[in-house]
């Protein structure tokens, strides 16, 4: 078996936000949960007699017990697919390309003293398209990050900058491709600097951006181009 490392690196994608539905119910024997993930969300077009890597983990707090569908070595984690169980019997399935469109519209009410009320209207669009099963294109226009989690307030009494993790969905997806650690919290590229004025630290609106991530053979690749409303333009390219 090929030697593998720990899964705390780039194997886990915390920014994955696929379309799925779920339903749970309580019965006389306990409870059950059903989760349905459309094949189009998994971004593949055809599958025939393939073996799927799959695993489940449950933690029962009252027993301090952790249950696994397929056990793995302690040096690995549940995200290591090579250590997962094998799901067979799914044959002759297919779906369309991954294609998700998320438009938004936003209006506000603004009335200043002595003036008439104003109703400024704005909107934007996010597109996610699966070019291939291992290549995804993300596009964004006039992006609004109003639904992003608020950062935890931190007090810095040291001469060093505070590392605030990225929480914006456009930058989170496949973020591991652009992760080049230099030791500690130092990174060669940090997406949180995009959309932030380097002088004032205030948020700068994003006009639009494009990101292409995935794999080509054994090469992992990522290209990103983001345009902001500030006088400076930011581009970033990553590969491994």
Verify that 26 and 141 share a domain, yes or no.
no
Residue 172 lies in a domain: yes
Q: Binning pLDDT at 50, 70 and 90, where does residue 5 land?
A: very low
Residue 2 lies in a domain: no
Alpha-carbon span 176 to 63, nearest angstrom = 35
Alpha-carbon span 64 to 72, nearest angstrom = 19
Residue 11 lies in a domain: no
Tokens of 198: 């380097």
Whether 240 shows a pLDDT value over 50: the answer reads no
> Beta strand pairing status for 121-132 and 99-107?
antiparallel
How confident is the model at residue 238, as a pLDDT? 46
Residue 12 lies in a domain: no
Give the tens place of pLDDT for each residue, 121-173.
788 888 988 888 788 899 999 887 766 766 666 777 777 766 777 778 888 87
Verify that 89 and 162 share a domain, yes or no.
no
Tokens of 116: 């008439």
Alpha-carbon span 133 to 43, nearest angstrom = 5
Whether 182 shows a pLDDT value over 60: the answer reads yes
β-bridge mates for residue 215, sequence order: 220
Verify that 84 and 104 share a domain, yes or no.
no
Give the tens place of pLDDT for each residue, 212-236.
988 888 888 889 998 888 655 554 4
Verify that 113 and 83 share a domain, yes or no.
no
Domain of 202?
99-239
How confident is the model at residue 48, as a pLDDT? 74
Whether 4 shows a pLDDT value over 50: the answer reads no
Verify that 145 and 159 share a domain, yes or no.
yes
Mean pLDDT of the chain: 77
pTM for this structure?
Answer: 0.64
Domain boundary among 55, 78, 94: 94
Verify that 52 and 77 share a domain, yes or no.
yes
Tell me how crowded residue 188 is: count the other CB atoms within 10 A of its CB. 11
Q: Binning pLDDT at 50, 70 and 90, where does residue 8 land?
A: very low
Residue 5 lies in a domain: no
Residue 8 lies in a domain: no
Verify that 165 and 203 share a domain, yes or no.
yes
DSSP symbols for the chain: ------TTSSS--TT-----EEEEEEETTEEEEEEE--GGGGT-SEESSPPEEE--EEEEGGGTEEEESS---TTS-TT-GGGSEEE----SEE----EEEEEEEEE--B--TTS--B--EEEEEEEEEEEETTEEEEEEEEE--TTSPPPPP----SSSPP------HHHHTTGGGG--EEETTEES--GGGTTB-TTT--B--EEEEEEEEEEETTEEEEEEEEEESSSS-EEEEEE-
Give the tens place of pLDDT for each residue, 75-122.
887 777 788 888 888 777 766 678 888 888 888 777 765 666 677 778
Verify that 111 and 159 share a domain, yes or no.
yes
How confident is the model at residue 116, as a pLDDT? 67
Give the tens place of pLDDT for each residue, 10-51.
456 666 777 789 999 998 888 888 988 887 777 766 777 778
Verify that 235 and 212 share a domain, yes or no.
yes
The domain tally of the chain equals 2
Tokens of 107: 């209006």
Verify that 87 and 195 share a domain, yes or no.
no
Verify that 170 and 121 share a domain, yes or no.
yes
């Amino acid at each position: 078996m090929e030697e593998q490392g720990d899964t705390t690196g780039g194997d886990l994608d915390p920014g994955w936000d696929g379309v799925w539905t779920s339903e749970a119910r309580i019965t006389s024997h306990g409870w059950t949960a059903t989760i349905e993930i459309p094949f189009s969300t998994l971004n593949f077009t055809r599958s025939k007699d393939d073996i799927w890597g799959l695993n489940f983990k449950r933690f029962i707090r009252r027993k301090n017990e952790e249950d696994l569908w397929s056990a793995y070595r302690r040096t690995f984690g549940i995200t290591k697919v090579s250590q997962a169980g094998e799901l067979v019997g799914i044959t002759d399935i297919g779906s369309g390309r991954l294609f998700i469109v998320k438009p938004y519209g936003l209006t506000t009410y603004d009335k200043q003293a002595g003036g008439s009320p104003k109703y400024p209207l704005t909107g934007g669009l996010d597109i996610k398209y699966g070019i291939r099963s291992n290549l995804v294109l993300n596009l964004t226009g006039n992006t609004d990050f109003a639904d992003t989690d608020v950062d935890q307030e931190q007090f810095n009494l040291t001469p060093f900058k505070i590392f605030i993790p990225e929480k914006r969905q456009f930058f989170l997806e496949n973020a591991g491709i652009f992760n080049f650690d230099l030791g500690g919290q130092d990174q060669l590229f940090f997406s949180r600097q995009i959309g932030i004025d380097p002088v004032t630290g205030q948020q700068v609106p994003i006009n639009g951006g494009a990101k292409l991530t995935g794999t080509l053979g054994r090469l992992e690749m990522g290209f990103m181009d983001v345009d902001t409303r500030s006088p400076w333009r930011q581009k970033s390219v990553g590969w491994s």
